[in-house]
Amino acid sequence: MYPSRFAYEAPRTLDEAIDLLAQGRGEAKVLAGGQSLVPLLKLRFANPDLLVDINNLPGLDHLAIAADGGVRVGALVRHRDLERATALASAQPVMAAAAPLIADPIVRTRGTLVGSLCHADPQGDWAAAVLAAGGQVVAQGPHGRRSIPVGEFVVGPFQNVLEYDEVAVEATIPAARDRVAGGFLKLERRVGDFATAGTAVALELDGDRVTRAGIALTGVGSRTLDARAAADSLLGRALTAETIARAAELAAEAAQPNSDHRGSAAYKRHVIHTFVTRILTRVTTTTTEHAA
């Protein structure tokens, strides 16, 4: 496994990094955790001329979790930092549930959430969790900063909307207005395997009424899927057997799975249905417990 020849730069400032990317004119790649990029280099699936290592850049390792559900994740925050962030469980349960399911413990010590979003693997986990939570990617380029909703950020398999001279500097999740709930379930054949199918659910509830809902699917399409109709079907309603069943059906319909060695298309759809049902049912149970 010997990559093609490439140049390597490790700039000390963000401006320098952006300059290097600009000079690369699309043939440069940002190296953060490297857990997807390095294997691609070794397999020669990616053959960039230049690697811009951002690990020395200051101010990108912040992880801010507010009690109101607002979360800011810097580009150098590792999966493990999120897994160990106890405040995440109450602030963004969907992310707290996803964090320990990312890849395997070795990858989690190096890989980054923002890198995962940029990599845009159709079987990736973070994009689903952040999409369900309504998150955004903040990108910085020569002309300043912009925020891009994750649903618009990922446009296809391994494709995002970043300009070649932009660096994704953080991911943000907006504060919630109401009580947050949610969950993340993934079927994998083994720890570290890509998702056969995965489901992220993020809700806000006022009493027992759903005031905001996000449902996102992974492993069942050419990119992370926003099961918008499924999520919308819950708005303004309480979680009951009927509303849960309806949402699960709509989510399964939104899935666009392929049959492969991980499972048949029909099975993957069935798993999505099951996972939406299970997450929402668990939320109901937890809500009842809170009430009790």
Partner 1 sequence: MTLTEPSRALDEIKIGGMGASRKRVEDNRFIRGKGHYIDDVVLPGMLHMEILRSPVAHARIRSIDTSAAWDVPGVRLVLTGEMMATRNLAWMPTLSYDTQAVLATDKVRFQGQEVACVIADDPYIAKDACEAIVVEYEQLPVIVNPTQALAADAPIIRDDKQGQHDNVCFNWEVGDKDGTDRAFAEADVVSRIRMHYPRSHPSPLETCGSVADFDRATGKLTVYMTTQAPHIVRAAVALIAELPEHLIRIVSPDLGGGFGNKVPVYPGYVMSILASILTERPVKWIEDRTSNLISTGFGRDVYLTGEMALRQDGKILGVRMHTDSDHGAFFGDAQPSKFKIGLLHSAFSCYDIPTAHLTARGVYTNKAPGGVAYRCSFRVTEAMFFQERMVQAAAEDLGIDQAEFRRMNFVRDDDFPHRTPFGFLTDSGQYAKCLQVGLDAIDYEGFRREQAEAAKNGRLLGIGISCMTEPLGAGNSREYDILGIKMFDSAELRVHMTGKAILRTGAKTQGQGHETTWAQIVAHELGLPADDIVVEEGDTDTAPFGMGTYASRSTPVAGAAVAMAARKVRAKARKLAAHLLEVSEEDVEWELGRFYVRSAPDRGVTIQECAMAAYSNMPDGLEPGLEANAYYDPPNLTWPFGCYIVTVEVDPVTGVWDVLRVVAVDDCGVRINPMIVEGQIMGGLTEAYAMSSMQFITFDAEGNCIGSNFMDYLLPTAWETPGYELHEVVTPCPHHPIGAKGIGECATVGGPAAFVNAVMDALKGHGVRNVDMPLLPDRVHEALTTRADVSGAPPIRTDS
User: Which residue lies nearer to partner 1 by CB, 56 or 264?
Assistant: 264
Q: Where are the alpha helices (DSSP H) in the chain?
A: 14-24, 37-42, 79-83, 88-91, 93-98, 105-110, 113-119, 126-132, 150-153, 228-232, 241-254, 265-291
User: Which residue lies nearer to partner 1 by CB, 83 or 178?
Assistant: 83
The residue behind tokens 């992310």 is: 95
Cα–Cα nearest to 165, from 136, 151, 185, 144: 144
The residue behind tokens 């069935």 is: 270
- Shortest Å, Cβ 125 to partner 1: 15
Q: Is 260 among the residues that bind partner 1 (CB under 8 A)?
A: yes
User: Which residue lies nearer to partner 1 by CB, 17 or 107?
Assistant: 107
Binding positions for partner 1, 129-188, rule CB under 8 A:
187
- Shortest Å, Cβ 116 to partner 1: 16
Q: Is 8 among the residues that bind partner 1 (CB under 8 A)?
A: no
Q: Is 274 among the residues that bind partner 1 (CB under 8 A)?
A: yes
- Shortest Å, Cβ 43 to partner 1: 8
Q: What is the helix (H) or strand (E) element at residue 9, kind and residue range?
A: strand 7-9
Sheet holding 50-53, edge to edge: 7-9, 50-53, 28-31
Binding positions for partner 1, 186-205, rule CB under 8 A:
187, 189-194, 196
> Residues 179, 246, 270, 282: which binds partner 1 (CB under 8 A)?
270
User: Which residue lies nearer to partner 1 by CB, 182 or 257?
Assistant: 257
The whole-angstrom distance between residue 123's C-alpha and the CA centroid of its chain comes to 10
CA angle, 132 then 289 then 216, to 5°: 10
> Residues 10, 161, 238, 265: which binds partner 1 (CB under 8 A)?
265
Binding site for partner 1 (CB under 8 A): 1-5, 43-44, 104-105, 187, 189-194, 196, 258-265, 267-268, 270-271, 274
